[in-house]
Structure 1
Amino acid sequence: MNYKFIESESELNHVCDDLLKEKIIAVDLEADSMHCFKEKICLIQIASAKEAFLVDPFEIKKISSFLNVLENNDVMKVFHGSDFDIRSLDRDYHVQVNNLFDTEIACRFLGIKERGLAALLKRNFDVDADKKFQKVDWAQRPLKQAMIEYSVGDVAYLVELQDIIHGRLKEKKRLAWAKEEFEIQAQVRYENNHTFPLFKKFKGAGKMDNRSLAVLENLLQMRLSIAQKKDQPLFKVISNPSLMTMACEKPLTIDRILKIRALSRKQADMYGNLCVEAVVKAMELEHRALPSYPKTRRPKKDDLIQERIKRLKKMREKLSGSLGIEPGFLLNNAVISCVAAENPATPEELLKIEQVRQWQVEAMGRDIISLLGYCRA
């Protein structure tokens, strides 16, 4: 596909005036989350059916004309796996993407298991997509020619792919189902994971004792400070498994850190003293000053509710096979638990349950209500 780098705000405004006349465009983003602490959008790729445009947000600071395109309800925006992109656009530009079509989500309604863009391009267009640039530093300038061509490839076929998938959804009478999910996806927003206490976002922290949590929190805050100063992602400073090891073992010397293999020698030379200091401070805290993990009150197990959950899961597996939709997407466990607890008697009551979609009620509402009625009998 022919592509063009947009080199000025006025040129972008002109291109966006033309894009507003299109019925459908493709959009993708490249970011630097693998290389920087404060991730940011590094390249914006846009494509109509005939031509692609690349926008460098480092060069063009004001992209309001493109944001207007994203918010326009008359132009369909095709993304593939849009969750990261939607959140990034919200973080950097506070923009709402309207009239979204997500080809990855759409594939879920068609029972397509290999939903990666490379697999879809190979299957539908016999195109071999080279994904070696997925993890490169997109903040580097100048961009290599191969990186530019890779970025164009991510949007070059999306409009045509959307047309194919759209047709298959219509054939299966699932287009409305997909549209409902697109609208929900368009509402996701960026979440800052660096809020204190940091252990609340750390996997496995909920099972730790209070003293270990104190050690973990000190280590997490130490790593966060280093990452900010070095402008590096957290995992490139110290990995989560390393922090977990130190929180559990509570090493008070660098030698001990090395013995339990929590850090490499190079890491120990750079961060060993800071880690020891973090552990020592946590060990010196009085018991009353120790943090505790927020406990969520779980309702007492009710035999009837457990029976409903068991039967709903069996029903889900059966319907998954007949509908050709993966079980976890068809009805996830959290929703099943809510449905079992609420025990709705009608499809209308079922739809009132939080997180239950209209398409789910259409697809299996009668089966769910019938099963729950059987459980009551």
Structure 2
Amino acid sequence: MSTPPEEPTVDDKPPAPLLTLSDGLGPVIDTPAGLADVVDRFAAGHGPVAVDAERASGYRYSARAYLIQLRRDGSGTALIDPTMVGEMGALQEVIGSTEWILHAATQDLPCLSEVGLHPGSLFDTELAGRLLGYPRVGLATLVETALGQALRKEHSAVDWSKRPLPEPWLEYAALDVEPLVALREAMRAELDEAGKSEWARQEFDFLLGFEPTQRAEPWRRTSQLHRVRSRRGLAAVRELWIARDTIAAHRDVTPSRLIPDAAIIAAAQAMPTDRAALLATPGFTGRGASRHAREWITAIREAAALGEDELPARNARNDGPPIPRAWAEKDPEAGQRLALAKEAMTELSEHVSVPTENLLTPDTMRRVLWTPPDAAASDLVTAVGEALNGYRARPWQVELTAPLLAEAILSARAATA
């Protein structure tokens, strides 16, 4: 017996129309002459420039850009192969003084800077979404929510170092900049309406000086490191990680394609010292494991030969406060400060519809609360604000959060007096 179709519910909505390229798909610009034409086109355009870049994350060691997408009203869209076109000074002269629109700018600014492209000002649609309280801030979600169109994302994790690039990939890349100008206009209007335009301006200006964090001991980010109990084993992890990183950089492949983190952990536990034992260790399979077996064994032997004073500490060096769960034991008043501040920040986040981590980075909040300013109650808000300024908090963040942190400090002080 057939079943009648379900009645649509009030929540059912027709699918959003698929975003398409308004100007069609042009050729990839891969010659100096082609780049000169792009420079002329974008010099004749008007308004901000939508910018995106594609890297080969998961395939290559470097974070270089393998494709740069630009779009501007009056100029159309350009897909540029930065590995082929040569020096980009002329393009920088044309677009460097105008506003760039990017999505998740911190992902693309370093690789764009590497080829000599630097914005004079910018608008980050992902960050704008966070300031506006959007629960999800991926580009496809924002385009559908703000513009009512669907954006395909099926090629987001492909190997952009591949040549020639398939046409479907190029269409995907062009679509990433197609809606950015309209999206920026819609989100700018929302920021104005919410009274958050100045917050956004300060955040976008701050991004102009963004530089990726350089970790002191990057090998400690090896997955499952906690399974290695001894300092000697940690030394093996370190030496294997360094050997893998060196080889990966030389070959320009992502490190995990040589051997996975799980293999490093297994070798640090078993400490194999010959090829047969190494290749019998879990994770040491495939070409990367066997081809570089000598380097892996050398790394393990070097770790085994280290003196006790040369072995790494069990825990990472840390110039900041202890981990939050240890505060109450190490300093009860500090633990109280942190608990009160977290509660107040959560309430503020809900009130202004901004995630707590965008109101103030957790690291900044913890540093100020672990060693609060030594100031009288009447001067504490100002003193906390100065401390926040020292950690590069923006003025809008200081205005909102300094009173809350000061209140937490005073309340904890009174409760433990």
Instruction: Give the TM-score category using the shorter length.
Output: 0.7 to 0.9
- Which residue, out of 123, 133, 140, partners 1:118? 140
Q: TM-score, normalised by structure 2?
A: 0.79
Distance 1:268 1:23, change over 3 A: closer
CA deviation profile, 1:244-297 (whole Å, cap 9, x unmatched) = 232233233555546652323665433445423321232123334444576335
Quote the residue 2:238 is aligned against.
217
Please state if 1:350 is matched with 2:384.
yes
Of residues 158-167 and 121-130 in structure 1, the stretch that sits farther from structure 2 once superposed is 121-130
CA distance in 1, matches of 2:359, 2:320: 25
CA distance in 2, matches of 1:291, 1:305: 29
* Partners of 1:258 and 1:265 within 8 A in 2: no
* Partners of 1:198 and 1:221 within 8 A in 2: no
CA deviation profile, 1:212-237 (whole Å, cap 9, x unmatched) = 23212321232123324433111111
Question: Which amino acid is the alignment partner of residue 334 of structure 1?
Answer: D
Alignment of 1:1-377 (within 5 A): 1-2=22-23, 4-5=26-27, 6=29, 8=33, 9-19=35-45, 22-49=46-73, 51-72=76-97, 75-93=98-116, 95-190=117-212, 199=219, 202=222, 209-254=230-275, 256-257=277-278, 261-264=282-285, 268-292=289-313, 295-296=317-318, 301-340=330-369, 341-343=371-373, 345-353=379-387, 354-377=391-414
Of residues 234-243 and 358-367 in structure 1, the stretch that sits farther from structure 2 once superposed is 358-367
* Partners of 1:24 and 1:76 within 8 A in 2: yes
Question: Which amino acid is the alignment partner of residue 66 of structure 1?
Answer: L
CA deviation profile, 1:155-210 (whole Å, cap 9, x unmatched) = 000000011110111111101111111111221125677x9x76366567698643
Of residues 288-297 and 48-57 in structure 1, the stretch that sits farther from structure 2 once superposed is 288-297
SS in 1 for 2:100: strand
* Partners of 2:259 and 2:283 within 8 A in 1: no
CA distance in 2, matches of 1:265, 1:60: 36
CA deviation profile, 1:94-142 (whole Å, cap 9, x unmatched) = x432211000001111110211011112223333322222222222222
SS in 2 for 1:41: coil
CA distance in 1, matches of 2:407, 2:289: 61
Distance 1:80 1:262, change over 3 A: same
CA distance in 1, matches of 2:44, 2:208: 24
* Partners of 1:38 and 1:231 within 8 A in 2: yes
Q: Percent identity?
A: 23
CA distance in 1, matches of 2:213, 2:78: 29
* Partners of 2:104 and 2:124 within 8 A in 1: yes
* Partners of 2:39 and 2:94 within 8 A in 1: no
Shift of 1:29: 0.7
* Partners of 1:351 and 1:357 within 8 A in 2: no
Distance 1:362 1:36, change over 3 A: same
SS in 2 for 1:44: strand
Gaps of 5+ in 2: 1-21, 323-329
Of residues 173-182 and 123-132 in structure 1, the stretch that sits farther from structure 2 once superposed is 123-132
* Partners of 2:260 and 2:283 within 8 A in 1: no
CA deviation profile, 1:324-347 (whole Å, cap 9, x unmatched) = 112222233222223322246354
* Partners of 1:49 and 1:160 within 8 A in 2: no
CA distance in 1, matches of 2:207, 2:262: 31
SS in 2 for 1:154: helix
Question: Which amino acid is the alignment partner of residue 246 of structure 2?
Answer: S
Gaps of 5+ in 1: none
- Paired residues in the alignment total 370
Shift of 1:48: 1.6
* Partners of 2:49 and 2:95 within 8 A in 1: no
CA deviation profile, 1:19-47 (whole Å, cap 9, x unmatched) = 4xx23121101122332223421111111
SS in 1 for 2:115: helix
Question: Which amino acid is the alignment partner of residue 23 of structure 1?
Answer: G
* Partners of 2:48 and 2:100 within 8 A in 1: yes
SS in 2 for 1:235: helix
Question: Which amino acid is the alignment partner of residue 69 of structure 2?
Answer: Q
Of residues 297-306 and 170-179 in structure 1, the stretch that sits farther from structure 2 once superposed is 297-306
* Partners of 2:143 and 2:150 within 8 A in 1: yes
SS in 1 for 2:42: helix
Shift of 1:91: 2.9
Shift of 1:312: 0.4
Question: Which amino acid is the alignment partner of residue 153 of structure 2?
Answer: K
CA distance in 2, matches of 1:177, 1:346: 24
Q: TM-score, normalised by structure 1?
A: 0.86
CA distance in 2, matches of 1:187, 1:238: 35
Note the aligned Cα RMSD (angstroms).
2.9
